[in-house]
Chains A and B, each alone.
Chain A
Amino acid sequence: MSAIKSRPIYPGLKVDERAKRHLVAAEGEGALAVLEAFADAPDAWSRMTLLYTPGGSAPANHSETLQGRAPDAFHLHPTRQTLMTRLNALLDTATMGTRLYAAGVEGHIGEVVAAGLAHGVDHLSIRTEHRGSLARRVQCVHCKGFIDDVTISPVPCAHCGVPLFVRDHYSRRLAAFQGVSINAETPDEVPASEELYK
């Protein structure tokens, strides 16, 4: 019963039949979630703007499969950052009837949801599915820097160097778990890191 109360639930992608436009942001194995969810909705692809970044799944070549389904617009991005830049631009001009979807690792979903929030999209209206590794996006509470794809705890902050314990506390606005100094009370020792969120 140790579910993290502030951690979002990702119920899975479900096509909104009534949407005029499907704005889909997928990362890595999230491609498979998109293919599965939209398999039974062939008409939807012609109203889809699909953004994809392969992440660690590049060898599987999901991008070709996605493109083969002929979405109305397809944007392939080298990184999550470049995908987010494009998504934010699309959200700036999105019209009524647009439905937002996110699939992939948790850090990616979180960033898409946070971008939606910043554009006035209710977070509960965003359809989400977690695929791929359990890596966490972490924010250092001390210097406020973000660290992506964290699989170990403690993790050294990539910005200020403080060794961080990753708390089970999640902020949707920041799309990140909270990292807090692990050795503030034992400055001379840093516990060994363990792989926790593979």
Chain B
Amino acid sequence: MTIQFKTETFRDDFTFSNSPEAIHRFPFPFDKDEYMYAVNIEQHMPGPVKSAFEFPIDIDEHYVSEMKDRALVLKQDPLRCQSLPHMITAEWDLLELLMESMAKNYPEHFTLTRDGDSWHWVNGPLGIDQKFTFGDTSTLPYPPMEYITRQCQGDFNLIDQRNDNLWMDAGIVTTQADWSLDFDIGMNFMEWHAPVPLAHDIGVFDRALKFLLNLQQGRPVRRLNWTMTINPRLDTSPENYHKWGVDRTTVTPENVGNKVHLRVELQALWRLPRSNAIVFSIRAYLIKMEELVTIPKWGRRFHRVLRDLKPELADYKGLTRYRQMTVDYLSKFDDGAPTSPGFFPD
């Protein structure tokens, strides 16, 4: 199965769009007509063929262009990739996890040959051919986490576990929903989640932390999170908020279908073998309202979710300024018919 990689942009002229196949495999995050925070964690098991859940690490038609965008972000702001010194073993663990998974599930694009510690990695789409010694940072052009995540879609955090807590001690974060790695690095689970409204009070974070402290090797888990973004911009960082925030004022009834995007994060967590650290991957998928409503169930359902969303959540996610206009647009695609349970299109 060869993927046709698109040439597109996530800034300036924003040429990003989804093919009909990409729309169909979009990880729509609502299994019912309403949304509230919950401990929505499930086993990261292989999902339906061609879905975003088919493989542990999902590579899609946007891969090459997303990697170009990441390189641009890192060039402008190297602080988007940081790792505290004790995380180097976890970095190698991550490199192994990603290379193994990509090579196994996309053999026509990536190959990995291992002979003891002598590894040979070939990345076809990005034109990379690298021989290196596993465990020896001097044999790679970047530190291991940065090396492999410049070649893998999604943001990544490496989480250390100590004192019955989780600590965000490394990461690469260039496609985030408005939070800063440079600010949060070194924080624990409760601290980095501090700005989230309501969830602390209903015990979501207490239960999620307890669950993750017991995460087992070989039994990864996943969850979906979502927000909305104006224009298909990947780099909605706080660092650059003074540049992109104004986009939120540009939505009109004429352009809402094209400008307003649902942004879904497929987050997966793995326990790592050598370091006992946890990988937290945050893979962002974007879909504009015009594309979303081509799946009738999703148009109906998202209309209801957005219309009835608690104001605290709308404010936190930054939707307030354009929410009503989007609800009005979506209402034209909601005939009031019942929706079937579950995420997938009918």
What 0/1 readout, one digit per residue, does chain A (157-191) give for beta carbons within 8 Å of chain B?
Answer: 00000100001111111100010110011110000
Interface residues on A, range: 20 to 34
Distance (whole angstroms) from the CB of A143 to the closest CB of chain B: 9
Please tell me which one of the listed residues B182, B187, B243, B244 contacts residue A172 in the complex, with CB atoms under 8 A apart.
Answer: B187
Q: Which of A167, A178, A185 contacts B249 (CB 8 A)?
A: A185
Contact present for A185 and B187 (CB under 8 Å): no
Would you give the shortest CB distance from A195 to chain B, in whole angstroms? Answer: 23
What distance in Å separates the Cβ of B322 from its nearest Cβ neighbour in chain A? Answer: 10
Asked whether, in the complex, the Cβ of A142 is within 8 Å of the Cβ of B186, the reply is no
Q: Given A185-B321, A187-B246, A168 and B194 touching (CB < 8 A)?
A: yes
B238 and A185 within 8 A (CB): no
Q: How many A-B residue pairs have CB under 8 A?
A: 69
Residue A4 lies at the interface, judged by CB distance under 8 Å to chain B: yes
Across the interface, A185 reaches (CB within 8 A) one of B191, B192, B193, B245, namely B245
> What are the residues of chain B within 8 A of A170 when measuring CB–CB?
191, 194
Closest to B242 in A: A181
Beyond A178-B183, A185-B245, 16 extra complex contacts between A and B, CB < 8 Å = A5-B191, A5-B193, A6-B191, A7-B194, A117-B186, A142-B240, A142-B242, A170-B191, A171-B183, A171-B184, A171-B187, A173-B185, A178-B180, A180-B241, A184-B242, A184-B243
For the complex, give the distance between the alpha carbons of A117 and B191 in Å: 16
Write the nearest CB–CB distance from A52 to chain B, whole angstroms.
28
* 19 interchain pairs, CB-CB under 8 A: A1-B201, A5-B193, A6-B190, A6-B195, A117-B186, A141-B180, A141-B239, A141-B241, A144-B182, A169-B183, A170-B191, A171-B184, A171-B186, A173-B185, A181-B242, A184-B244, A184-B246, A185-B249, A186-B249
B120 close to A (CB within 8 Å): no
Known: A169-B194, A187-B246. A178 touches B187 (CB 8 A): no
Residue of B nearest to A185 (CB): B245
Residues of A within 8 A of B180 (CB): 141, 178
8 Å CB contacts to A: which residues of B69-86? 79
Q: Identify the A interface with B (CB < 8 A).
A: 1, 4-7, 117, 139, 141-142, 144, 162, 167-174, 178, 180-181, 184-187
Would you give the shortest CB distance from B80 to chain A, in whole angstroms? Answer: 12
Considering the chains assembled together, what is the distance between the CA atoms of A142 and B237 in angstroms?
10
Secondary structure call for the A interface: loop
Q: From B183, B186, B195, B321, give the contact of A141 (CB < 8 A).
A: B183
State how many angstroms separate the Cβ of A184 from the closest Cβ of chain B.
3
User: Given A168-B194, A173-B185, is A5 in contact with B200 using a C-beta cutoff of 8 Å?
Assistant: yes
Residues in chain A near residue B185, CB distance under 8 A? 173
Within 8 A of A (CB), among B177-216: 180, 182-187, 190-195, 200-201
Closest Cβ neighbor of B248 among chain A residues: A185
- The complex places the Cα of A1 from the Cα of B201 at a distance, in Å, of 9
Task: Please give, as numbers and ranges, the residues of chain A lying within 8 Å of B195 by CB-CB distance.
Answer: 6, 167-169
* In the complex, chain B residues whose CB is within 8 Å of the CB of A168: 194-195
Residues of B within 8 A of A1 (CB): 201
- Enumerate chain A residues within 8 angstroms of B244, measured Cβ to Cβ: 184
**3 closest A-B pairs (Cβ-Cβ)?**
A184-B245, A5-B194, A6-B194
Q: When chains A and B are docked, how far (Å) is the Cα of A25 from the Cα of B240?
A: 36
CA distance A120 to B89 in the complex (A): 19
Q: Closest chain A residue to B193 by CB distance?
A: A5
Kindly list chain B residues whose C-beta atoms are within 8 Å of the C-beta of A167.
195
Most buried by A among B79, B187, B242: B242
What separation, in Å, do the CA atoms of A7 and B194 have in the docked complex?
9
Which A residues are in CB contact (< 8 Å) with B249? 185-186
* A162 near B242: Cβ-Cβ < 8 Å: yes
Contact A180 B246 (CB under 8 A): no
A180 to B241, CA, bound (A): 8
What chain B residues lie within 8 Å of A173 (beta carbons)? 185-187
